[in-house]
A and B are shown apart, each in its own frame.
Chain A
Amino acid sequence: MFEKVLLRNIEIPNSHEIGVYENAGGYKSLATVLNNYKPNDLIDTVKESKLRGRGGAGFPTGMKWSFVPKDTKKTPLLCCNADEGEPGTFKDRALMEKDPHMMLEGIVIAAYAIGAKICYIYIRGEYELSINRVENAIKEAYAKGYLGSDILGSGFGLDVYIHRGAGAYICGEETALLESIEGRRAQPKLKPPFPAVEGLYGCPTVINNVETFACLPHIIERGPDWFKNIGPKESPGPKLYCLSGQVKRPGLYELPMGISIRELVENYGGGSCSGKIKAVIPGGVSAPMFPENQLDIGLDFNSLAAAGSMLGSAGVIVLDDTTCIVQVITRITEFFNHESCGKCTPCREGLDWSAKILLRIEAGEGKHEDLERLDSLCNTIFGNSFCALGVGASWALQATLKHFRDEFVQHIEEGKCPFH
């Protein structure tokens, strides 16, 4: 059995309380950092661990931190991305509900590394319990001196505030998230300047995911070597996988990076409901799905990228053979269409037309040309949209059209959905 690290406390009753967290060794890493590390050493340590962001893009965390200019007049800011909107993903919710202090400790460590004095935690609005638990954890941390103007007597200070999302998936995109905090419509912003240089309120800003923060105390506690020796070399560490869909034992699994899709689904998830897998989405619905014969790919950033998909948010969704692929991709496209912020032409207009056409095909009213139209829409959106939402949406559709073209054709030729 792989030793649980990120989820080590969640079975303990009242795991969200500070006492439980402290008993399990919590906040020791913070003390270590404040006593023994200079910010630059800390950044180096995180670089050494090869920790890559757990929010989706897998950007090396230490490197991101090192982009914050050292000599700016504006104090850097820190943001925690807890917007978790990618369908199939529920890991951050679990961390916030069950062990908010692990994330908080990571936040203080990161703030120390980049010299931030304020951190905003952007939590999606639906996560009421997470909001309450994190809010409470913040209060507890202040009371214990883990937050505030002089943390553990080190002279380093940090204030943490929650900014509550209100139902917009795009707010997970980091620049849209910043716009949202600034009180604007959450539309992605032009890069460069990158947030690390000019982000929230014009200040250098680092944005990391909840799980990324949660990894930090462990890297300090056990050392970067421990971390980088778990899983593949370029994409190491313990990882939370969200398993859902037509699988016998859906749930949140902490496993080493790089475990294969098949192993996760069969060994941990107990196999698919019907016993026959049709396809698996490996990293939330933005990640192109794989048909059954490609399930031996490792669930890590590089392996999945090489295979034409991505680890994304590690939302692994299993589709068994009772499932209509057209219905699934139609729903996915409708999701992206609904969540498109509307800023750029290809995503705003292209997804709407894609959804209209898909709905028609699913309803048995498709024509053969529709498939070409979808191909060309994907081409127009992919790579040309302003942010990765459009890219993800078209990528997922493109892959589905490729792997399961027969099923689309069947819908068109039979004039109905063969599954319904």
Chain B
Amino acid sequence: MPGNLREQIELITDRYPNRRSAIMPALFLAQKQHGYLSGEVQAQVAGILDVPEIWVFELATFYTMFHTEPIGTFHIQVCTNVSCLLRRADNLLKFLENRLQIKTGETTEDGRFSLSSVECLGACDKAPALMVNQDYFENQDEDKIDQILDRLSAMGMNVSRDK
């Protein structure tokens, strides 16, 4: 993405007849840049869009894909909704908790992995499914997860948060 946050946000505001509509896309951009949406970042977005800060706070907390607290470099999101549950996604989640030594909803101490249980990812025919950041991993089992984690662990700490 070229340009600074303000420029990026200004670009998207053209799509909408008012600036309030641009809050969601602006939060995505800000999260991409800052990793998570601290109060400061939210205030910055509000400032750029010239909207009341509370509007930004409302949206940053309404939607689950926005993080107002720091999140691990790799955000592992296991679908535990029905189709995946029927394919034992709950076991996978337990397996991940064990491997990462954290509970669902937590982040590893080194800040690399966060583990979440999420709602249906729309990959039900390839259940169980999970996402790591924006990437889908489908038809998962323990072996495959082991491989993914090994690969991710091998990556340096300087991996960007959004990929």
A interface residues (Cβ-Cβ under 8 A, vs B): 84-90, 92-93, 124-129, 161, 163-169, 180-186, 201, 242-246, 250-252, 281, 285, 315, 317, 319, 323, 327-328, 331-332, 335, 338-339
Contact = CB atoms under 8 A, between A and B. Distances in A.
A168 B63 contact: yes
Contacts of B126: 250
Nearest to A186: B62
Contacts of A186: 62-63
Given A87-B81, A180-B24, A285-B82, 16 more contacts: A84-B122, A90-B124, A93-B122, A164-B24, A164-B25, A166-B28, A167-B64, A167-B66, A183-B16, A183-B51, A183-B59, A184-B58, A245-B83, A281-B82, A317-B86, A332-B82
A128 B121 CA distance: 11
Contacts of A90: 122-125
B27 to A, nearest CB: 7
B15 A161 contact: yes
A125 B32 CA distance: 13
Nearest to B12: A161
B81 A331 contact: yes
Interface residues of B, number: 42
Interface in B74-117: 80-83, 85-87
Nearest to B83: A244
A85 B120 CA distance: 7
Given A84-B122, A161-B15, A250-B124, A166 B82 contact: no
A66 to B, nearest CB: 25
Contact of B65 (A85, A126, A183, A327): A126
Nearest to A91: B122
Contacts of A332: 82
Given A182-B21, A186-B62, A338 B119 contact: yes
Nearest to B127: A244
Contacts of B27: 166
Contact of A87 (B24, B66, B119): B119
Given A84-B122, A89-B120, A328 B25 contact: no
Interface of B: 15-25, 27-28, 51, 55, 58-59, 62-66, 80-83, 85-87, 119-127, 131, 134-136
Contacts of B134: 128
B83 A163 contact: no
Contacts of B15: 161
Contact of A339 (B119, B121, B122): B119
A184 B20 contact: yes
Contacts of B25: 163-164
A317 B64 contact: no
Which one of A87, A125, A243, A317 has the greatest number of beta carbons of chain B within 10 Å?
A: A87
Contacts of A182: 18, 20-21
23 contacts: A89-B120, A89-B122, A89-B124, A125-B28, A126-B65, A128-B135, A161-B15, A163-B24, A164-B28, A167-B65, A168-B64, A183-B21, A183-B23, A185-B58, A201-B17, A244-B86, A244-B125, A244-B127, A245-B82, A317-B82, A317-B86, A328-B85, A331-B81
B119 A250 contact: no
Contacts of A93: 122-123
Contact of A126 (B23, B80, B122): B122
B121 A126 contact: yes
A73 to B, nearest CB: 15
B79 to A, nearest CB: 9
Which one of B15, B55, B126 has the greatest number of beta carbons of chain A within 10 Å?
A: B15
Contacts of A87: 81-83, 119-120, 124
B51 to A, nearest CB: 8
Contact of B63 (A84, A167, A244, A315): A167
A17 B81 CA distance: 32
A84 B66 CA distance: 19
B83 A317 contact: yes
A41 B16 CA distance: 31
A252 B83 CA distance: 14
